[in-house]
Amino acid sequence: MADNLGTSPDEVQFRFRDDEPVDHAAVTVDSCCDQTNATAVRIEPGDDARVLLPFLDRLALVEVNFPSFGDGRGYSAARILREAGYAGELRAVGAVLIDQLSHMRRCGFDSFAPDKRLDEEDAARAFATWENVYQRAADARRTIADKRHEA
Amino acid sequence: MKILTGNDLRSGAVTWWNGTGWSLFVDDAVDVGDEAEEILAREEAARRVNVPYAIEATIDAAGHVRPAHIKDRVRALGPTVRRDLGVPTANKTGWDWVI
Amino acid sequence: MYRYDQYDQAMVDARVEEFRDQARRRLEGKLTEDQFKPLRLMNGLYLQLHAYMLRVAIPYGTLDARQMEILADIADKYDRGYGHFTTRQNIQYNWIKLEDCADALADLATVEMHAIQTSGNCIRNISSDHFAGAAADEVVDPRPYAELMRQWSSFHPEFTYLPRKFKIAVIASEKDRAAMRLHDIGVRIVARDGEVGAQFYAGGGMGRTPMIAPLIRDFVPIDQFITYAEACLRVYNRYGRRDNKYKARIKILVHELGAAEYIRQVEEEFAHLLSVGVEPPREELARITAYFAPPAFVDGPKTVDRSDPDFALWVDRNTHRHKHDAYVSAVISLKPAGGIPGDATSEQMRVVARLAREYSFDELRVMHTQNLLLPHVRIADLHAVWTALDEAGLGAPNMDTIEDIIACPGLDYCSLANARSIPLAQRISERFAETGRTEVVGELKLKISGCINACGHHHAGHIGILGVDKKGTENYQISLGGSEAEDVSLAKITGPGFDEDGVIAAVEKVTDIYLATRADGERFLDTYRRIGMEPFKEALYG
Ligand code: HEM
Ligand code: SF4
């Protein structure tokens, strides 16, 4: 295939999974739908994540590209995949900045390959920013409202 | 002439490039000719100024610097409706030229 | 009113520390201004014409005396002794230093306040009816629903980088006192066959392309309220335009898709999200609602002694009917003739706080008209309240009159402005007060914006004024016939603009036509709607 896209495992700065990362390049969403053997795909902001739903079983890596940090479509793409049961690696790549890490994590991203490496200490702080959360999201954390009304 | 203005990163105060640093008083602004880009890039990178830009201005007979655009004239002295809060120099130069 | 529990407090405290850290990284040069800007905006910190400006959220416009006192303290401690109340029921400080901002936010957090999401391309402070909980005509108090939405929208992980800002208003009566249909989403809480639910409107807004939101769902069962809102937002986040910031608001999406197609997509997403289960537990709404239980009203006199004509005039103008017949809601005008609309000094804020504590069950409101409100005042206490307000320069009897002008900060403060708004408001209110015509003209909503962004709601003014740039000088266009109320309409431009003197004369001419042609009981807006634009044009340009 012509496309040789995506980030290599070396470029991943943070990963919250124990399995071996996929070691080959990702393909575009279009090629993924045409090819029967692709296991890694890369979503651009304009792609509809839902076209991947029939193929989730064979996918091990979905990269979601953030060409600019202000384009938030990738957050919806991530949640949609997790809501459909996707359990493989979901990697945020591109303009991934410190202050987005906690939100991305909540939307279901479990690995991060920022364009520019992030300060480890700042990032650790960012991942831990929210001890509690208001909304239900892809991380299945119990929300504040759930905690208020347990018991 | 061409002068440079921006805001102080820490305080947000409007500042003007006086040739060696950033002044609160528009009258201190100096003509930067074709060095604008270079100074802007250097000063912003050093965080001595925030979001600076170059503007056109003139000097009147009494030596006062007058920015060409109404927005920068308002910036030079402060809100016209709260002259009590204006930049102190306003008392000397008066407000007539702002609008 | 709502009180934070340890969770809400921890969220706000965490946010203060997060912002302190972000400001530190900016000052150390670890963040560029481009990277820092969206972060500071999500904490309400703008860089304005003269300095940083901090916008503090007042959720659904409700606050108590202690909170108002802290707002006053912040004005003194970190600013220059005053604040500006806005049409979105917030307060803005014009002179906050970046290095002080985290401290100011920490002070706010001590009284359960914050500046979270008061700017940026996220869900903004939820606004509501300023008479909520007091109005005789409401189905329920809309604020618990607004609070539920506040929690849902705070730090929403999916909706922090929307195509553009997103403003929601929640009301619960037929009358619209919150410009509900001029919001990205407008919600009206309704009751059908004894069941409470939400009516949703989407795609309204002002700005350069004003639009009135169409109805997108007549009834959402209340236990699916948040799920439906999430569906609306997800469709917008995925498909709202990102190629052009002037076309990025949801109103453009709804307009370009057509309401029917937007509705179809929302319904599909809604069905999906119902299966995912994102709704907060039902008991959460009950928990919140308990905080809004009506105060312990007591019976008392239902009329005032009208022997002082100044007092009687203020009562007629500035009080609003209350659920309980021994009470009224009393409007505190921030529009003294010749003053700056919406500005209040720290001293005035403290007076208002004291009055709230003494006479209004410790409750205050910020109105979208840039006034303040004591929601529950015993009629028996009105004279004392009025006397204190009058002494503090807060007793102008001019609610909904031509002196009650909404004006954005304009070129005096705003870096996006073309022209100043405040001086016009000052001159017009002064002129009408001096000539005694305010009373003669009656209800007339005049709204001024300093540029096309329409923060001063000029599209919704009975008379709207828009500042434009004419070869580097200030120029003003007049428009007529707008309304933000339940009879919502967008104003139409009369014709070529005027300079400052010209626009003031023009406003007088327009009111002359109204006075000469009005039928019995007609407001300015009614007359305009009956006779149309022509007679006004004739007077202005003929
Ligand atoms: C001084 C700093 C301010 C800036 C930079 C600013 C910026 C803007 C911009 C860019 C828009 C247009 C958004 C769009 O159409 O996409 C807008 C709209 C608006 N702003 Fe402001 N604004 C400021 C102050 C205010 C104030 C003081 C108020 C309240 C009095 C306010 C309330 C509104 C409202 C109600 C709208 C129109 C509603 C809508 O967005 O559709 N803004 N503002
Ligand atoms: S309408 Fe324009 S001038 Fe007025 S506050 Fe909004 S952006 Fe500024």
Q: What CATH number did the domain enclosing A31 receive? A: 3.40.50
> Do B80 and C412 count as a contact with CB atoms less than 8 A apart?
yes
Residues of chain C short of pLDDT 50, as ranges, are none
C65: left (phi over 0), alpha (psi -120 to 50) or beta: alpha
The band of A25, judged by pLDDT with boundaries at 50, 70 and 90, is confident
Residues whose CB falls within 8 Å of the CB of residue C34, separated by 6 or more in sequence, listed in order: none
What is the domain extent for residue A52? Answer: 9-148
C133 with C185: CB under 8 angstroms?
no
Give the number of other Cβ atoms within 10 Å of residue A98's Cβ.
Answer: 22
Token pair, residue C68, equals: 């108002």
C447 with C410: CB under 8 angstroms?
no
Closest atom, ligand 2, to C-alpha of C418:
3
Amino acid found at C309: P
Residue C489: beta bridge partners?
A: C483
Which residue in C101, C111, C97, C115 sits closest to C44, CA to CA? Answer: C115
B81 contact C CB<8A: yes
Instruction: Give how far C32 is from chain B: nearest CA, Å.
Output: 9
pLDDT of A50 over the 50 cut: yes
Exposed, middle or buried: residue B46 (CB in 10 Å: 0-12, 13-18, 19+)? exposed
Sequence-separated contacts (24+) of B9-12 with Cβ below 8 Å:
B9/B47, B9/B48, B9/B49, B9/B50, B9/C26, B9/C27, B9/C98, B10/C27, B10/C97, B10/C98, B10/C99, B11/C51, B11/C97, B11/C98, B11/C99, B12/B50, B12/C47, B12/C50, B12/C51, B12/C52, B12/C95, B12/C96, B12/C97, B12/C98
pLDDT of B4 over the 70 cut: yes
pLDDT of A33 over the 60 cut: yes
Q: Which residues of C touch B (CB under 8 A)?
A: 26-27, 29, 33, 47, 49-52, 80, 94-99, 340, 411-413, 415, 417, 420, 422-423, 426, 472-474
Q: Domain for residue A4, yes or no?
A: no
Q: How remote is the C-alpha of C351 from its chain's centroid?
A: 22
Which residue in C196, C258, C200 sits closest to C232, CA to CA? Answer: C200
Closest atom, ligand 1, to C-alpha of C370:
30
pLDDT of A3 over the 70 cut: no
Strand C463-470's sheet: what is its strand order?
C406-407, C446-449, C463-470, C473-480, C492-493
pLDDT at A2: 40
What total of structural domains would you count in chain A?
1
In angstroms, the CA A126 to CA C374 distance is 41
For the stretch C268-298, what's the b/e string if a residue is b when 16 or more beta carbons lie within 10 angstroms of its beta carbon?
Answer: ebbebbeebebbbeeebbebbbeebeebeee
In angstroms, the CA C502 to CA C180 distance is 33
| B51: nearest CB among C27, C33, C98 | C33
* Pairing state between β A40-43 and A61-66: parallel
**Residues in chain B, how many?**
99
pLDDT (tens digit, 9 = 90+) per residue, A98-133? 989 999 999 999 999 999 999 999 899 999 988 899
Exposed, middle or buried: residue B52 (CB in 10 Å: 0-12, 13-18, 19+)? buried
The band of A24, judged by pLDDT with boundaries at 50, 70 and 90, is confident
Q: What is the 3-state secondary structure (H, E, C) of C362-395?
A: CCEEECCCCCEEEEEEEHHHHHHHHHHHHHCCCC
pLDDT of A4 over the 80 cut: no
Q: What is the 3-state secondary structure (H, E, C) of C455-482?
A: CCCHHHCCEEEEEEEECCEEEEEEEECC
Instruction: Provide the 8-state DSSP code for C451.
Output: S
Residues whose CB falls within 8 Å of the CB of residue B61, separated by 6 or more in sequence, listed in order: none
From residue A142, how far is each of A135, A138, C462 by CA, in Å? 9, 11, 49
For C20, phi then psi, to 5°, come to -60, -40
pLDDT at A103: 96
C294 with C267: CB under 8 angstroms?
no
ipTM: 0.96
For C185, phi then psi, to 5°, come to -130, 130
pLDDT at B86: 84
Match 């003003």 to its residue by tokens.
C476
Instruction: Provide the 8-state DSSP code for C83.
Output: E
Q: Which chains touch C (3 or more CB pairs under 8 A)?
A: A, B
Which residue in C277, C206, C276, C267 sits closest to C232, CA to CA? Answer: C267
Domains and their CATH numbers in chain C: 6-109 (3.90.480.20), 134-289 (3.30.413.10), 309-391 (3.30.70), 406-541 (3.30.413.10)
In angstroms, the CA A38 to CA A35 distance is 6
Q: Which chains touch B (3 or more CB pairs under 8 A)?
A: C
The band of A1, judged by pLDDT with boundaries at 50, 70 and 90, is very low
Q: What is the CA angle C513-C515-C516, rounded to 5?
A: 65
Token pair, residue C473, equals: 């000088």
pLDDT of A36 over the 80 cut: no
Q: Domain for residue A33, yes or no?
A: yes
pLDDT at C115: 95
Which residue, among C31, C50, C500, would best test binding to B if mutated, counting the most B CBs under 10 Å from its CB?
Answer: C50
Residue C83: beta bridge partners?
A: C344
Measure the CA dihedral C243/C245/C247/C250, to 10°.
100
What is chain A's percent helix, strand, coil content, to nearest 5?
Answer: 35, 15, 50
In angstroms, the CA C352 to CA C75 distance is 15
Q: How remote is the C-alpha of C321 from its chain's centroid?
A: 21
Residue C169: beta bridge partners?
A: C127, C186
> Do C423 and B14 count as a contact with CB atoms less than 8 A apart?
no
Q: Domain for residue A141, yes or no?
A: yes
C411 with C327: CB under 8 angstroms?
no
Residues whose CB falls within 8 Å of the CB of residue C419, separated by 6 or more in sequence, listed in order: C410, C411, C450, C451, C467, C468, C469, C474, C475, C476
pLDDT (tens digit, 9 = 90+) per residue, C227-241? 999 999 999 999 999
The reply to whether ligand 2 has any atom less than 6 angstroms from the CB of C468 is no
C381 with C304: CB under 8 angstroms?
no
C34 with C40: CB under 8 angstroms?
no
In angstroms, the CA B64 to CA C429 distance is 35
The reply to whether ligand 2 has any atom less than 6 angstroms from the CB of C204 is no
Residue B95, CB-side half-sphere exposure with 13 Å CA sphere: 16
C236 contact A CB<8A: no
pLDDT of B90 over the 70 cut: no
Longest dimension (CA), chain A: 56
Which residue in C58, C60, C63, C65 sits closest to C356, CA to CA? Answer: C65
Token pair, residue C213, equals: 């939101």
Q: Domain for residue A37, yes or no?
A: yes
Q: Domain for residue A2, yes or no?
A: no
pLDDT (tens digit, 9 = 90+) per residue, C325-334? 999 999 999 9
Q: How remote is the C-alpha of B50 from its chain's centroid?
A: 13
Instruction: Give how far C62 is from chain A: nearest CA, Å.
Output: 21
